[in-house]
Amino acid sequence: MSTLPLTYRDAGVDIAAGDAFARAISKLAQRTKTADVLPSGDAYAGLFRLPLSGLRTPLLAATCDGVGTKILVARACRSYRGLGQDLVAMNVNDLLPRGARPLFFLDYLAVGKIALSASGEADAAAVPLLDLAQGIVDACAAVGCALLGGETAEMPDLYDPGDCDLAGFAVGLVDQAQVPSGDVEVGDVVLGLPSSGVHSNGFSLVRRVIAQAGLDYRETLPGLDRSLGAELLQPTLLYVEPVLALLGRVRIKAAAHITGGGLLGRAEKLVREDQRILIDPHSYARPPIFDVIARLGYVQETELARTFNMGLGFLVVLSPQHAETILADAASPWRRVGHIAAGHGADLGYAQS
């Protein structure tokens, strides 16, 4: 039995490395600071002044999410920066169906070993935290959302050196009058924004398909113009700017960020039990990665549509008059992708059981 005194570092936790990362991400986060962020020194809790001017009935909206097993694809490809945008997008996009503008974001990073970069041989398998942090900061800055704080946990007995998990937390603000009412009617129009691909849902199925097919993420498959890994790691798009711009022009009746449950599941939740939402699959471009997944894994169309976004990352329901106002603007990113009819459930054209 050893009688040498043990240290925290002997147990696998490097406080100095953790402090170095905290300083580095704090410096990066200065880019995201808004006028409403108050100095908080070394305190763990950040301070934020609520911008309530002009709001009659202000409401806070809050959400939390992660990026799922997309982390394992990033690990296999040694490419982590896009996960930072994924983490921010999965949260700030989820505020938008409530009409809320994101105010601030917090992150939780859990790793087996803290490494600022993976340049050293000893850290070759470790997660390059600065890459992750840079992705988070870039995404927060892009949507005007302050990175108010976070936590980095080094847990060597729970995670191997190359393992990590990510969680994000976002808080937004909305005037009650701007919250989508949900009063969807037959004849209303569905507008959509495109996705960049798989985004951050369904990766347990994606990875099973790739493993079953015996493929390597470095391969470029027929139908793709880049490697499989690069295609799958395309970051989740940030929808804050186009959705808030839409809210500033017309009244949104209902909205959905297409995540868990896929396009079929999320679309169904936009309508009442006596209504049917019809999506035209020819009204938008379906990224080829979904055809690759279907072909390799013999995945049926309905299963695809209940797992993935199928090429539509965000949906809104508007009155016909408001939809025409938006569609008449040639610079608008929104496209008409469907409408509301009498009936029940959702019809995505290709997603028939």
Host H or E run for residue 301: helix 301-305
In this structure, is residue 8 part of a structural domain?
no
Q: How far apart are CA 150 and CA 87, in angstroms?
A: 13
Q: Do 214 and 319 lie in a common domain? A: yes
Q: Do 141 and 118 lie in a common domain? A: yes
In this structure, is residue 231 part of a structural domain?
yes
Instruction: Please report, for residues 34, 164, 242, the alpha-carbon distance to residue 30 in angstroms, rounded to integers and kept in the order given.
Output: 9, 25, 25
Instruction: Encode the chain (353 residues) as per-residue pLDDT tens digits.
Output: 566 788 878 788 888 888 888 888 888 888 999 899 998 777 788 999 999 999 999 999 999 999 999 999 999 999 999 999 999 999 999 999 999 999 999 999 999 888 876 554 445 567 889 999 999 999 999 999 999 999 999 998 898 888 899 999 999 999 999 999 899 999 999 999 999 999 999 999 999 999 999 999 999 999 899 999 999 999 999 999 999 999 999 999 999 999 999 999 999 999 999 999 999 999 999 999 999 999 999 999 999 999 999 999 999 999 999 999 999 999 999 999 999 999 988 777 755 43
pLDDT at 98: 97
pTM: 0.94
pLDDT in tens, 20-44: 888 888 888 889 998 999 987 777 8
Residue 10, exposed/middle/buried by CB under 10 A (0-12, 13-18, 19+)? exposed
Give me the residues paired with residue 147 across strands: 105
Task: Report the CATH number at residue 293.
Answer: 3.90.650.10
Q: Do 319 and 251 lie in a common domain? A: yes
Q: Do 312 and 257 lie in a common domain? A: yes
Q: Residue 193's closest CA among 138, 247, 237, 231?
A: 237
pLDDT at 3: 67
Q: Do 130 and 229 lie in a common domain? A: no
Q: Do 146 and 272 lie in a common domain? A: no
Last residue of a domain, one of 143, 178, 213: 178
Q: Do 240 and 150 lie in a common domain? A: no
pLDDT at 122: 45
Interacting residues of 188 by C-beta distance below 8 A, sequence separation 6+ = 253, 317, 318, 319, 320, 323, 339, 340
Q: How far apart are CA 126 and CA 118, in angstroms?
A: 6
pLDDT at 128: 86
pLDDT at 146: 97
pLDDT at 118: 52
Q: How far apart are CA 144 and CA 300, in angstroms?
A: 40
Q: How far apart are CA 310 and CA 314, in angstroms?
A: 11
Q: Do 148 and 279 lie in a common domain? A: no
Query: Domain range holding 122?
Result: 15-178
